[in-house]
Amino acid sequence: MLRFLYRMQATGLEHIPSEGGFVLAASHFSRFDPWPLGLPLYPKRKLRYMSKAELFNPIIGPPLRAVGGFPVERGRNSSAAIDAAVELVRAGEVVAMFPEGTRRRKGLRKKIRPRAKPGAAQIALEAGVPLVPAGISGTDHLLRFGQIRVAYGAPIPLDDLKDLDRKRAVSRATERMMESILRLESV
């Protein structure tokens, strides 16, 4: 459906590590974003998604877990979610995150620079795994049946941050991540 209705195009697949865990951090415009983000990587790489804990009710929870979701408490320092994600990437899984924390409102694509939460960078630094950016475009206007594009970027360099204190390293990694994501949205 994605390839037919939306002429989905994925670029930068050569940047995706073929083995080992990593954090995939992407822009977020629609509830639909996980599908175009993960489809080009499937079946080689299956994504695990941090999802807001409220979704894990008896009806939505089981299917959400079946497609790789795991709960995170939004608005709170959820060290349990960070620890779970670190364990997943260390075990070779791919944890996909939308660092803005919520969907960006329509029309704000170019007007306001989105703010990112530090979780994706924190997980990558703590686990010692690559932090791969991705830009998604076209999912904010699904009813127009325009083209959906996903651009995967090269892993963000983190080695130079190892000597910094943790808070500063996470902050710099988060800045680099968002700059890459914003650049990839227009590819």
Predicted confidence band of residue 147 (pLDDT cuts 50, 70, 90) = confident
Q: Where in the sequence is the domain holding 109, given as residue range(s)?
A: 2-185
Mean pLDDT across the stretch 164-173? 96
Nearest one of 118, 141, 121, 159 to 29, comparing CA atoms: 141
Q: Give the mean model confidence (pLDDT) for residues 81-95.
A: 94
Per the rule left: phi > 0, alpha: psi between -120 and 50, beta: everything else, 49 is beta
Is 0.95 topped by the overall pTM? no
Q: What is the CATH number of the domain that holds 90?
A: 3.40.1130.10
Residues 3-19 have pLDDT tens digits of 666 678 999 999 999 99
Q: Would you state the pLDDT for residue 14?
A: 98
How many C-beta atoms lie closer than 10 Å to residue 149's C-beta?
21
Number of domains into which the chain is organized: 1
